[in-house]
Structure 1
Amino acid sequence: MASCLIVFVSGNRNIYTVSRLNADVRLLLENEMGVVWLTGEISNFSAPVSGHWYLTLKDARSQVRCAMFKGNNRFVTFKPQNGQQVLVKARLSLYEPRGDYQLIIDSMQPEGDGRLQQEFEQLKNKLAAEGLFAQTNKQPIPEHPQCVGIITSKTGAALFDILDVLKRRDPTLPVVIYPAMVQGEHASIQIAQAIGRANERQECDVLIVGRGGGSLEDLWSFNQEIVARTIAASQIPVVSAVGHEVDVTIADFVADVRAPTPSAAAELVSQDSSYKASGFENFRRRLTDTMRFYLSEKNQRQQSLKHALEKQHPNYRLEKQIQQLDDISVRLQQSVQGYLSREQQRTDHLSYALQLHSPHPRIQKMQDNIAQTERRLIEAIGKNILTSRHQLALSAETLEAVSPLSTLKRGYSVTTDTAGRVIHASGDVKTGDTLVTQLADGKIYSTVD
């Protein structure tokens, strides 16, 4: 949802909304400050799944938040680490939703090489603005030099390479060596002094200033302002011959002609049977230098236009919206994690409460009581059965003792009539009645006479 950018007018006062204030401050930062170079230590580095980078740059006293979008960070040749010192090229801005002042980083490099490269670009732009690289200031190299001056280390390989080429191409050509340190703290001063000494003596009609190849730091003497201004002020044409063809120094831009190597410089100022070819090569190199300078100027103009265009480009707004989306994503993730944590705590609490009120302990206790009662009942029944068996045995013995059969076994008998009535006395019968006498082993039937 778009923010409402409304300014309320109360009397003679403009009353800003927070959104309007942040928007105006952002525009002020972006339009007034433009591109800045900044060095600092990385902290709080973050690389979310969106591919963008978020970090803080700090020094001993201050810090600033930064964002580098994936369209630019894909060109970074190293993996940023917390604690690493870097040099960044960035645009000042403000993240409106939080009111956070921040930098939008366009490029990043380790501080060491980056600082030298920054100094190189600053001096190059400064001297170019003064016209020191202008083709109109270039002096032509004499077609038939009468003497060649060489400004380099007297022990370096570059000197011997130059001398070998000159000896091979034109052994009679006079050479004057103006020795100077080409690397180290005082090298730039010695190089400038040697150029000045050659101009004072006026012994030569062309100078070769150079050295062999090396790193950016090794060649740094030829990127010093004192050397550049001394070359520009030289009345004697200067051929720069620093390093290899891929090495480019400030001295190359300000010199009258640039040679890719010291050996090539020697060929350039000397003549042999291939003089015409050398002249063509000289023209080609000067044309190359001119085109390089022209392209450099056009590149600066392009960068300026690119920066202005980027401010109006939809990608610029998209970058801000992407950053807002990343911020919302992080806050949403934190919110979800907080909600899940609270629900987990609530679930744990309910689980504990349920355990306290669970029927399982009571059921288990009742089952234990039933089992105990069952054991007691079985024991009681067993005892009752034993008691009943004992009583039954006693009753059987008593019954056996009083049983008529037992009496009969002892020799007694029982007399009844045929109806089974016991005859107790003689008067209970009459003549002719049939009597039944029960003995232990059978019955006797008899008739009364």
Structure 2
Amino acid sequence: MSMYPTNDNIYNVSQLNSDVRLLLENGMGIVWLIGEMSNFSMPISGHWYFTLKDCDAQIKCVMFRGNNNRVMFTPTNGNQVLVRARISLYEPRGNFQIIAESMQQEGDGLLQQQFKKLKSQLTSEGLLTKEIKRSLPRQPRKIGIVTSKTGAALPDILNVLKRRDPTLSVIIYPTKVQGKDAAIQIAQAIRHANSRNECDVLIVGRGGGSLEDLWAFNEEIVARTIAASIIPVVSAVGHEVDFTISDFVADVRAPTPSAAAELVSHDISLRIQQLSQRTDRLAHTFTTHISHYIIKLTHLVHRLAMRNPRVQLRQQTQQFDELERRICKSISQKLQSNREHLNHSIQRIKRYSSSNQIPQLKTQLGYSERRLIDAIPNQLRQQQHALALQVKTLNAISPLTTLVRGYSITCNQNGRILKSCKDVSVGEVITTSLSDGEIQSEILWENPSR
């Protein structure tokens, strides 16, 4: 027997795939198959493409439009279905597949059953109640992110955070987010973030995918780790229509990773605008208060100036000068009047005198002249004495004279002169006027006399 093949048993790939397809379709015939539906898609052609699987294996399936029009429900990933199908081979790719001719529901899928069971258990333990949820920090400074380094979620989150608040610090705790051991790694990353305690809030999540892709976030280990976290957790798994157990146990659920970044950050431009408005209000208030106190201070300075002993002394000095001028003017007028009267008398004497009256008149004239001369100094002394008495009286009542003798005048902060211990209180600043200046003091204690 020849060890080399003959032309009769040499296949090309197309022939082999065709023969295998015929063997499968003719040899197996119609089969009934139970499995869980996943990776469901319906292109524009209207055909259905999906995968049927159980715990250990999976198989590609197709259901053409003419057959799927008779299906009485809308298939979704996770459905447990019973299909009537023919086993076949897709020749162009050599893929083993089944062609479904009919389909009916066989209850919820295994994953959906596990989802509902775990959710029910966590609900009974109180881990899903709103009362235990914590509010997110109002002004977080460090954001922790538990996700894949290579996934689409991470750049989406980072872009939103950078746009809204570039000052935020971000710490990434990389982990697998799907496949074997993903749930364990996610739980370890959350525990690691808590042990370091360097973040104000944690975003835990990934981008969208099928139920199987998101399943790590439905695992019990992840759910309990999130519930036990001392750092507030935002769950951001998949798209808005996707729900996982992590969404229910987290403190806040975000519909997408980008939405999670919006939740934990503040728009810094809005904060800058608010700060600018507050600064304007503060400046306006400050200016208003300063203007008010300047007016009040000007009023107090004016009142103090009006009550200042130096001002009063200057006024009294001017009054003394005016009085002296009036006295001198009065004396001068009196002297002038006497001179005029004397001259008038002399003229009369000259006009009516006779030779025998001249000696007597001269004697009388001399006597009158001496009286007049004597009266002028006396009158001047009397006026000077009266002026001295008035000066003495004014000096006696002058505040400065009192100050020179060792006394002082003390006023409170409002400029009122203190007359009693009850006019001041401890801690108040008072001003004392002395003969050569002023001093300020603070009241440390008071001891009113009984």
Q: Do they superpose with TM above 0.5? A: no
> Shorter-chain TM-score category?
0.3 to 0.5
When the two structures are superposed, what TM-score results if normalisation uses the length of structure 1? 0.38
